[in-house]
Amino acid sequence: MSDAALDAVIAKITGLLAGWDRSTTVPEMRRDNDALYAHDKVPAEVTEVSAGGVKASWIEAGDAGEPAARLGRLILYLHGGGFHIGSVASHFGLIARLSAAARCRVLALEYRLAPEHRFPAPLEDSLAAYDWLLGQGYEPANIAFAGDSAGGGLALSTMLALRDRGSPLPVAAAVMSPWTELEASGESYVSRAAEDPMFTRKTVLGLASSYLDGATDPRDPRAAPLYGELAGLPPLMIQSGERDILLDDSRRFAEKATAAGVDVTLDLWPGMIHVFQLFGADLPQAREAIVKLGTYLEAKLA
């Protein structure tokens, strides 16, 4: 990858953020965010569905392969966006590429967002969708979780909630730059402050405050999985860019999960930014990283 390719991606991000001020509404931010990633056109079949009352889409890339579909293997995907923005539309390219790499269908969830729907609405929606999948006859051994940023943290919190209520867990999970603690206490919030074009510590704390609305302990594992008891989770791949201000959210969770006996693969990418995998149309590293995630999940689902 040339420096110019990454510089162009960063310019897109900073250009978007520069256009936002105190007068920008959340719906406007959502539209702008969706438009930022809309150019990543990946051929895929899309079927909208209600997953336990939650709006969702089945996404299957054109080269995902028929055998995988017949075997009923799938990924439940939870998009990022700080629990305020993001959608299946903004993450479509990433999700379709992951479908192709893992050779299976992906159920991409449109969980409810703040400020209209604060914690624990996203967790309730992810649990409802998983229960719906089990009710449809899908076996936990044929289900993997995936997600990025807030969605990555939500995937981890969902597995903790499933374990705590005695439900069968998915066979594995793969998360990108997961948001695992809401107090922005990691060292990377300082050391990566000048390198991350997407977030500041103040922004992260503002999103967390709005999401929790003062009604929830920021260390509640249902919202901040880093503070949960992690023993018993399934195999997990955590992928992050080393320029990411949330880098320590990944590193600290990986360290704690490993100490608890979880099979964790921590995959760090030098020079890459927060959820760089969203730029599959722009960055070869993004495409390579998604293939690595998909290969990991395909092996676990098989």
**SS3 (DSSP) at 145:** strand
pLDDT beneath 50, residues of the chain: 1
Query: Amino acid identity, residue 253?
Result: F
Report the candidate in 179, 220, 216 with the shortest Cα–Cα distance to residue 201. 179
Q: Which are the contacts of 167, defined by CB distance < 8 A and separation ≥ 6? A: 130, 131
Longest dimension (CA), the chain: 50
Provide DSSP, 19-43. T--TT--HHHHHHHHHHHTTT----
Number of other residues whose CB lies within 10 A of the CB of residue 209 = 12
Q: What are the φ and ψ backbone dihedral angles of 225, each rounded to 5 degrees?
A: -60, -20
Active-site residues, by number, are 149, 244, 274
Query: How much is the pLDDT for 214?
Result: 86
Q: Which residue has the tokens 């997961």?
A: 178
Are the C-beta atoms of 172 and 234 separated by less than 8 Å?
yes
Report the candidate in 176, 246, 199 with the shortest Cα–Cα distance to residue 10. 199
Rounded Cα distance between 82 and 156, Å, is 15
CA distances for 21 relative to 29, 83, 146, 182, angstroms: 10, 19, 32, 23
The full set of domain ranges for the chain reads 3-301
Q: At what angle do helices 3-18 and 26-36 cross, to 10 degrees?
A: 160
Q: Which are the contacts of 44, defined by CB distance < 8 A and separation ≥ 6? A: 59, 60, 61, 62, 92, 96, 99
Number of other residues whose CB lies within 10 A of the CB of residue 79 = 29
CATH number listed for the domain at residues 3-301: 3.40.50.1820
Q: Record the tokens describing residue 230, joined without a space.
A: 């992690």
Are the C-beta atoms of 144 and 170 separated by less than 8 Å?
yes
Are the C-beta atoms of 61 and 44 separated by less than 8 Å?
yes
Query: How much is the pLDDT for 193?
Result: 94
What is the β-pairing status of strands 74-78 and 44-51? unpaired
Rounded Cα distance between 189 and 152, Å, is 18
- Residues belonging to the chain: 302
Per-residue pLDDT of 16-61, as tens digits, reads 999 999 999 999 999 999 999 988 989 999 999 999 999 999 999 9
Rounded Cα distance between 270 and 261, Å, is 27
Are the C-beta atoms of 247 and 186 separated by less than 8 Å?
yes
Query: How much is the pLDDT for 1?
Result: 42
Query: How much is the pLDDT for 64?
Result: 63
Gyration radius from the chain CA atoms: 18
Q: Does the model's pTM come out above 0.85?
A: yes
Q: Record the tokens describing residue 212, joined without a space.
A: 């929790």
